[in-house]
Amino acid sequence: ILAQVGPPPPHPPAGPPSRREPPAGPGLELEVLRDTRNRTIRALCGQRSMPRSVWDLPAGQRRTLLRHLLVSDKYRFLYCYVPKVACSNWKRILKVLDGALESVDVQGKMDHKSDLVFLGDMKPEEISYRLKHYYKFLFVRNPMERLLSAYRNKFGEIKEYQQKYGVEIVRRYRKNGGKSAGDDVTFSEFLRYLLDEDVERMNEHWMPIYNLCQPCAVRYDFIGSYERLRDDADHVLEHIQAPSFIRFPERQAWYKPVTAQTLHYYLCNTQRRLIKELLPKYILDFSLFAYPLPNITSEFCRQ
């Protein structure tokens, strides 16, 4: 697949003037990245065995995808939400666009179901029409960073996940772990759990992005990234012609981001064998969205 990725295209012609403050130019590096993603997706999805549409997917995979495609009929777009990739803020924007929320800055816990329209709740002909005619986008993130973010959030802060998953993980992978309350799951234990899990049965917070959003069955018009969240979000808001007062929300003060140093620490304190065995489950996320495989060499980890 990567052998088919050629040089980046020439600079595209300038588009119409923007209503918003234009982000800085993408630069050659970003052009190469986006072109690599597009070409790799085309090459992989062009293979005979890959689905050509939503209706080619097995029922379970189609159900997962349609449950993650949010609809705005007013602004004619579909957004595939990926947990741990700023999806709460995008849901907040959808609620403001549809008038269910006054402002993106309204405080309070995000309700991930109410006042949102899911493509899976529609009839087949309504689904097909929107897939054909609406603007479609998703946001992606480095797979290992996303897993670490899910681990720290769900097992470090949320009792429901500690009780539902943590207790079982510790019982399964730790000697004499039966008395754990599920709030002391180690990162290695979490990765071992993922290794044994069937990808299609995973919780959405650690299911691969490929399985959540099926980029072969759905031809996305734009794939934004967590690493360029603000600029890419502005691009989408511009494209859907959102009102100029709507902007992507600021990061909450309590949010603890996963830094490169934090990821480095966790990966280098985890058995290399475990990480190497886990990579095949997330390899499509790495390759399709052009993320480098994690560096866990001895030289890197000594730094």
| Residue-range domain boundaries for the chain | 29-302
DSSP code at position 84: T
In this predicted structure, the answer to whether residue 54 has a pLDDT above a threshold of 70 is yes
What's the CA gap between 49 and 216, in Å, rounded?
11
Say what the pLDDT of residue 3 is: 47
- Section 134-142 average pLDDT: 97
Whole-structure pTM value:
0.88
Secondary structure (3-state) at 165: helix
pLDDT category, 21, cuts 50, 70, 90? low
Say what the pLDDT of residue 253 is: 59
CA angle 16–225–220, rounded 5-degree value:
65
Residue with tokens 């650690």: 206
In this predicted structure, the answer to whether residue 17 has a pLDDT above a threshold of 50 is no
Nearest CA among 220, 240, 281, 173 for reference residue 34: 220
Least confident of 21-30, 108-117, 133-142, 283-292: 21-30
Say what the pLDDT of residue 113 is: 78
In this predicted structure, the answer to whether residue 112 has a pLDDT above a threshold of 80 is no
Say what the pLDDT of residue 1 is: 44
- Section 157-184 average pLDDT: 91
pLDDT category, 210, cuts 50, 70, 90? very high
The pairs formed by 210-214 with CB atoms below 8 angstroms and a separation of 24 or more are: 210/284, 210/285, 210/288, 211/61, 211/64, 212/64, 212/65, 212/68, 212/80, 212/82, 213/65, 213/68, 213/80, 213/82, 213/138, 214/51, 214/54, 214/57, 214/61, 214/65
What's the CA gap between 264 and 267, in Å, rounded?
5
Least confident of 17-21, 192-196, 211-215, 278-282: 17-21
pLDDT in tens, 60-105: 999 999 999 999 999 999 999 999 999 999 999 999 999 888 888 7
In this predicted structure, the answer to whether residue 33 has a pLDDT above a threshold of 90 is no
Q: What is each CA distance from 18 to 119, 234, 236, 237, in whole angstroms?
A: 30, 10, 12, 11
In this predicted structure, the answer to whether residue 135 has a pLDDT above a threshold of 80 is yes
Say what the pLDDT of residue 252 is: 65
pLDDT category, 114, cuts 50, 70, 90? confident
Yes or no: say if 57 and 214 are a contact pair by the CB < 8 Å rule. yes
Say what the pLDDT of residue 27 is: 79
In this predicted structure, the answer to whether residue 265 has a pLDDT above a threshold of 60 is yes
88's CB contacts (< 8 A; 6+ apart) are: 110, 112
Say what the pLDDT of residue 176 is: 84
Task: Report strand pairing: 69-72 vs 77-80.
Answer: antiparallel
